[in-house]
Structure 1
Amino acid sequence: MDNKPKIDYVIYVEGTPERVWQALTDPGLTAAYWGHSNVSDWQEGSAWEHRRTNGSGIADVVGTVVASQPPRRLVTTWADPGERGGTEPSQVSFVIEPYNGIIRLTVTHENLADEAERDEAARGWAAVLSNLKSLIETGHVLSARPWEMP
């Protein structure tokens, strides 16, 4: 994974580690701010899916829980469910660090295929994490889906 593109994204959220963990792992909350439900039992070695919320049950991303240390650290692999063999999945790490009533959430997405995928992931994470921050701090998501902004 060392030579492939990666991104590090950091946000600061007013909240608790438990609330941020819940926002990352609760299917209902992820559906609210991400437009997909993250579904798993969140145990190391378990599968997880990033399912559409339109009732189709289609997973746009699948992976495995690599590390699960609630409420401080979550690591998952990310892959297109249609890809079979030969392609190593990317990996996403969420590190939740409390400090005086705020949280530093660091998201690292590594082992990306190329710079184009890195740029797409960077835009996506900025939008999704802005919506997560809004939900945790205000109780509601942004008034429009930020990832749809041209």
Structure 2
Amino acid sequence: MAGTLTFDYVTYIEATPEQVWHALTDPGETVAYWGHGNVSDWRPGSRWERRRTDGSGIADVEGAVLESSPPTRLVTTWAEPGAGAAEAGPGVSTVTFGIEPYGEIVRLSLTHEGLAGAAERDAAAQGWYAVPASLKTLLETGRPLPREPWAMP
């Protein structure tokens, strides 16, 4: 059934919840490990965009901030530009980041819900395996993985 598939991912990062939150929400940080700037004021109801870094200002993904509880939880809609990403509907999915202390490290969980089918879930999975890996590497070593997430198999 369309719009019912979910992708879940969990990783553990040697960092504080505040560092992980900053890495998810600061455009300069997201450029470093994601290759795009995530731009918003991160308040519920606000728009967010994943903008290219080539100076074009083009947003490849956009959405709305549904929930923002620094430094523990961020929920956004996720859609192609122009899909009406402020609300759930056709072509709009939801991404939830959970950030929780786990002893001296952080457990980062990511859930991408409302995916339209197996092909969309597989495409999301390809990116979602690489993005948190690069974020983790950046926070633990000071540098991201040497390849853009979309260039990883």
Fold agreement, TM-score > 0.5: yes
- The answer for the alignment partner of 1:15 in structure 2 is 15
- The answer for the alignment partner of 2:90 in structure 1 is 87
What SS class does the counterpart of residue 111 from structure 1 fall into? Answer: strand
Written as runs of structure 1 = structure 2, the 5 A alignment for 1:28-39 is 28-39=28-39
- The answer for the alignment partner of 2:105 in structure 1 is 102
Contact persistence 2:80–2:91 (CA under 8 A): no
Aligned-pair identity in percent equals 62
Contact persistence 2:2–2:117 (CA under 8 A): no
User: Structure 1, residues 3-52: CA drift from partner, whole Å, max 9, x if none?
Assistant: 61111100000000000000000000001100110000000000000000
Q: Which stretches in structure 2 are left out of the alignment for 5+ residues?
A: none
**Deviates most, 80-89 or 125-134:** 80-89
**Deviates most, 57-66 or 79-88:** 79-88
* Structure 1 pair 95–84 and aligned structure 2 pair: CA distance change class (3 A): closer
Aligned counterparts of 2:56 and 2:3: Cα–Cα separation in 1: 37
Aligned counterparts of 1:2 and 1:105: Cα–Cα separation in 2: 27
Contact persistence 2:6–2:114 (CA under 8 A): yes
**Deviates most, 71-80 or 137-146:** 137-146
Q: Which stretches in structure 1 are left out of the alignment for 5+ residues?
A: none
Aligned-residue RMSD, C-alpha: 1.9
* Structure 1 pair 5–71 and aligned structure 2 pair: CA distance change class (3 A): same
1:49 aligns with 2:53: no
User: Structure 1, residues 30-84: CA drift from partner, whole Å, max 9, x if none?
Assistant: 0110011000000000000000011100000110000000000000000101335
Shift of 1:2: 9.9
Written as runs of structure 1 = structure 2, the 5 A alignment for 1:56-75 is 56-75=56-75
Residue correspondences, number? 150
